[in-house]
Amino acid sequence: MSKWDETSGAEHREWLFGTDGNSMPILQLFDESENTFIGRRHSEALAQNTWAHLVATYAGGGASAGIKIYLNGSRVDGSNDNNGAYAAMEARDTMMLLAHRINSSGRPRGLFDGKMAGGPLGPFFIPKELTAEEVLSLFILGREGLGVP
C-alpha cells in the first residue's frame, strides 16, 4: 500500500508500506519538501508461498521510533531506515495505491506478485495507532477467517 508517485516534475510521496526488493517488510514516511524520509524495517525476508499478516502503525512525530511493524501479530521492526533531516509528511493529492507505487515515468513499479486477502480480511487503513493487542486480535481473526494455520 502506498501514497507514492515519483512522476518526474510532479512528485507526490507520502508513505510506502510493503516489502523491499529483498522481501523484507518496511514502512517509509516521506517529507516531500526536504526530500527525506524516516522508516522502520524488519531484518528478515518474508517466507515464500506462506501466508503473512503485515500491519504497520505510526504514532506521529518526526522520529522513526514512532513506527511499528507487526508480522503475524508480533512486533518485528528491528532497524531504522532513515535518510536526512525529516520534518513531517505533507498532505498530497496522491491516491492510495494497492500492490504498487508509481515510478518516475508515471508507470506502476514494484507490482505485488502473489495473493492477497480481500474484503474485511484484506488491506485496510485506519486513521489511528493500533495497540499491540488490537494487531494481535486482527491477526487471529484473519487467520481463522481464512482458515490458514
The total number of structural domains in the chain stands at 1
Q: Which domain holds residue 139?
A: 2-146
Nearest to 4, CA basis, from 125, 104, 117:
104
Determine if the pTM surpasses 0.85. Answer: yes
Mean pLDDT computed over every residue of the chain: 91
Specify the pLDDT at position 95: 86
- Helical residues (DSSP H) of 49-131, grouped into ranges: none
Residue 94 has pLDDT above 90, yes or no: no
Give the residue with greater pLDDT, 68 vs 9. 68
Contacts of 4 (CB under 8 A, 6+ apart): 12, 13, 14, 15, 16, 30, 94, 97, 101, 102
* pLDDT tens string 36-66: 999 999 999 999 889 999 999 999 889 999 9
